[in-house]
Amino acid sequence: MSRTMAKIVTRLRSWRALVLLVLLGAALVNPSLSCVYEQTGTVLCPQSTLRCPTGWKCAKFQDVCIPDLCGDGIVDLGTDEECDDGNINSGDGCDSECRSEKCGNGDVDEAEGEVCDDGNKESGDGCSKDCRSDETCGNGYIDIARGEQCDGGEECSADCRSTKCGNGVANTGEECDDGEETDECDIDCTFASCGDGRINRTRGEMCDDRGESAACDDDCTVVSCGDGKTNRTAGEQCDDAGDSETCDGDCTIVQCGDGRTNTEAEEECDPGAGTDFAGNSEKCTFDCYQTACNDGITNIAAGERCDDGGTVGGCDSNCELARCGDGVLNSGLFEACDEGSMNGEPGSGCTIDCRHETCGNRKVEFEEHCDGPVSATCDEDCTEPVCGDGLVNYLAGEECDVGNPNGNRFCTKECELPDCGDGTRDRLEQCDDGNKDDDDGCSSTCRSELALQG
């Protein structure tokens, strides 16, 4: 049936219904009209005393006469009936023209609360699937298919997006709103920043205690000694990501005697608290060097009786107390020789007072280089003065001689006494930067000027 024909039928039905209502009203006002029906041949409705005029029918479930099939309770094929509920009332799912009042029929049934009906039950096309919204913001209906999160009320924005944080729209009072946590916006709609007290894992934060804490560094990473970040709240004194010249790997300032050997700080070992009164251990001196006889440090823990670094006559080179006849040549006692118990024996070449049998007789004999008083050209053992021969010859310009041609911390290889500022870290010096200036990390007395790192 064409749309034009459908409109004509609809109007006809409306006219018939109007005529029916007029007739019914007349019958109630003037009972004699019913008689007219009886005289003209009428249809008596089976469930009432209502008589319908010739050509009309009784509605199946309503005391009313109907001019056609709509209202007989049967959906008649070949007609435009979509439904037939046995009455000609609207608003009960089937209207007075036997058209369905369900959403999606293309007719706006206001009695059913419809505000639109586009002939389908799909939302997002200008009419909601229940036909109760034209899907415009502000109509009081939340159209989810249109992206609305609200529609009306103080907490609803002008675009029907909720003003609540997380809706993806930065509303009044919000610094940002990305709909979720991002590297620029926290989940509470504030700009993301390390130190704001909110952990933002999207930007790599592992913690955030609004600054340094015992568990969190000020860069929002978990505290860990060795991470290169000094966290004093966690008890770190320094952190150079491992041993350095000024910091131990356990994040404490380098200190000889702390029990940690730090080779970056030029420690050869670390005696800890030590085992003798001076703080030495069997294998390590109190200044964190390997124990060695003639290093100038008497290490009782290592069994040394003495150690003068070879510069004083009271101690032999084996770190035993010196005496003529002990078999150890000691230039500090002005010994020219020492054959032990053979001293003074014929052929030993050494007198009982540790002098060469020929050296000192002022005659150059045997393998002597010279023989006479000690001079710039003659050592006391009648040999030519040589730095490193273990004999200190002051007249030859020597200040010391440890018998080591390479020198050590107690006597340089030029046989000069070590001096602060010579660029070599010597005995008891903490540093030596080659000058005697202060405030450059090493003081004028060669003491470290290091301060706690922050």
DSSP string, 21-79: HHHHHHHHH-THHHHHHHHH--EE-TTSS-EEPTT-EE-SSSS-EESSSTTSSS--TTS
**Top mean-pLDDT range of 78-92, 136-150, 199-213, 272-286:** 199-213
Q: What is the average per-residue pLDDT within 202-227? A: 96
Is the pLDDT assigned to residue 231 strictly greater than 70? yes
pLDDT of residue 409: 73
CA–chain centroid gap for 445, Å, is 44
State residue 161 phi and psi, 5-degree precision.
-100, 135
pLDDT, position 170? 85
Q: What is the pLDDT of residue 289?
A: 93
* 3 state SS of 416: coil
Rg of the Cα atoms in the chain:
58
- As a whole number, mean pLDDT of residues 230-247 equals 96
Query: DSSP letter at 179?
Result: S
Sequence-distant contacts of 231-235: CB under 8 A, at least 24 apart = 232/454
User: Which of 40-54, 148-162, 193-207 has maximum average pLDDT?
Assistant: 193-207
pLDDT at 12: 44
* pLDDT (average), residues 243-251: 95
Kindly indicate the confidence band of residue 34, based on its pLDDT and cuts at 50, 70 and 90.
very low
> Which pLDDT value is given to residue 194?
96
Does the structure show a pLDDT above 70 at 20? no
Tokens of 164: 């609540």
Average per-residue pLDDT in the chain? 83
pLDDT at 413: 83
The predicted pLDDT at position 26 comes to: 41
Q: What digits encode the pLDDT tens for the residues 146-189?
A: 988 888 887 788 888 777 888 888 887 899 999 899 999 999 99
Residue 64 vs residue 402, higher pLDDT: 64
Residue 375's pLDDT is 92
Flag whether pLDDT at 21 surpasses 50.
no
Could you tell me which residue, 316 or 268, shows the higher pLDDT?
268
pLDDT in tens, 287-309: 999 999 888 889 999 999 988 87
Place 451 in a pLDDT band, splitting at 50, 70 and 90: low
User: Which of 195-199, 367-371, 431-435, 444-448 has the largest mean confidence?
Assistant: 195-199
pLDDT band at 221 (very low <50, low <70, confident <90, very high): very high
Residue 353 vs residue 27, higher pLDDT: 353
The answer to whether the pTM exceeds 0.75 is no
Judged by average pLDDT, the poorest of 195-199, 318-322, 342-346, 423-427 is 423-427
CA angle centred on 38, ends 37 and 40, rounded to 5°:
65
Contact by Cβ (8 Å): 291, 284: yes
Contact 172, 181 (CB under 8 A): no
To which H or E segment does residue 25 belong?
A: helix 3-29
Q: Quote the longest CA-to-CA distance of the chain.
A: 186
* Rounded average pLDDT over 381-404: 88
* Most confident option among 55-59, 105-109, 406-410: 55-59
pLDDT at position 251 is: 96
Give the model's confidence band at 141: pLDDT under 50 very low, under 70 low, under 90 confident, else very high: very high
Q: Give whichever of 1-10, 36-45, 365-374 has the largest mean pLDDT.
A: 365-374
Amino acid at 359: C
Q: Show the tokens assigned to 176.
A: 């940002």
pLDDT band at 139 (very low <50, low <70, confident <90, very high): very high
pLDDT of 201 strictly over 70: yes
Mean pLDDT for the stretch of residues 334-362: 83
